[in-house]
Amino acid sequence: MDVGISLPTTSRRAWDPGLAHVARAAEREGAASLWVNDHLAMVADPASPYPYRADGTIAWDPAAPQLEALVALAQAAAVTERARIGTAVLVLPQRNPVELAKATASLDVLSGGRLRLGVGAGWLAEEMRALGHSFADRGRRMEEYVRVLRACWCGRPDRFDGEHVSVPDGLLMYPRPVREAGVPILVGGMSKPALRRAALLGDGWLAVADADAVDSAELGAAVALLEAERAAHGRGRAERALKINCPSGTDASRCAEATVAAAAAGFDEVILDVSWERLDDASELLRAALDAASDARTTSGGTR
């Protein structure tokens, strides 16, 4: 099992000591991947319920500065050599998919093929509407945009006439991503529609859970459903990553237990979403997860 970590794009640590410093340090300590979240805008008092907390409220200050996701990843890629980079997750329905295809292909080329694109349908209706997009049909739009991305990554996309996007004949979209199949797309979310999209459209699934609520049986059942659906449609095994929310004060032992539970559920990777309030605390959580992942590999006889 691999261990990745979020970068501080919504924290003062993006400036002090700086995102580049944190990215280099995380890679040195053994992080296999570096991830960023995505909001183009926030609102002071969201009416939209946040789906990953029981009370529906967000756990961060909406007024905190937030770096744009792909710009942040470009800096992380420039100062690291091996760690993969990714979005966890980018709100796909509020992006122009043709522009996004160009940006992600460019980032993949410049990073040496290290990019993975985690995408989600989004939850913040106020943000999406402010950007000029409907919230109600975001799921259908997301599914169409995935198809547009893959078409554009081919370099010479065939004509595409969708419900929301049209791509004309003769369009040239170079450079292509490093990998022949394009940038791997991981569909994020815990809802039934998200799991279905991961099975039918994605290269993988990016699940999310709190550090104190990683239920290996429940997650394992979801993985089994995912793979059964993919097999029924002639698709191979999905890449599986679990983003573990580790708010300030999370104990390292809890982080290690969550990592072991994720491995037992069949995940290939955990992504620690840490607060970065204290650099030493974030480093301790990363080391605990790395040790737990190493033990899980030894126990299972695996190599990841």
Q: How far is CA 257 from the centre of its chain?
A: 22
| Side chain identity at residue 293, one-letter code | A
Q: pLDDT tier at 134 (50, 70, 90 boundaries)?
A: very high
149-208 pLDDT, tens digit per residue, is 999 999 999 999 999 999 999 999 999 999 999 999 999 999 999 999 999 999 999 999
Residue 11: predicted pLDDT: 85
**Tally of CB atoms within 10 A around 291:** 15
Q: Does residue 20 have a pLDDT over 80?
A: yes
In angstroms, the CA 153 to CA 186 distance is 16
Q: Does residue 303 have a pLDDT over 60?
A: no
Q: Does residue 274 have a pLDDT over 70?
A: yes
173: Cβ contacts below 8 Å, ≥ 6 apart: 98, 101, 102, 105, 152, 153, 154, 155, 156, 157
Helix, strand or coil for residue 5? strand
In angstroms, the CA 89 to CA 52 distance is 13
Are 297 and 265 spatial neighbours (Cβ–Cβ below 8 Å)? no
In angstroms, the CA 304 to CA 302 distance is 6
Q: Region 249-278: what's the mean pLDDT?
A: 96
Overall number of domains in the chain: 1
Domain coverage including residue 186: 2-300
Best CA proximity match to 52, nearest among 268, 274, 275, 213: 213
Q: pLDDT tier at 277 (50, 70, 90 boundaries)?
A: confident
In angstroms, the CA 206 to CA 187 distance is 6
CATH of residue 231's domain is: 3.20.20.30
Task: Give me the long-range contacts of 275-284 (CB less than 8 A, separation at least 24).
Answer: 275/11, 275/246, 275/247, 275/248, 276/8, 276/11, 276/13, 276/22, 277/11, 277/248, 278/248, 279/13, 279/17, 279/22, 281/248, 282/5, 283/25, 283/29, 284/252
Q: How far is CA 254 from the centre of its chain?
A: 22
Give, in order, the Cα–Cα distances in Å from 8 to each of 18, 67, 101, 261, 288: 9, 9, 25, 25, 19
In angstroms, the CA 197 to CA 204 distance is 9
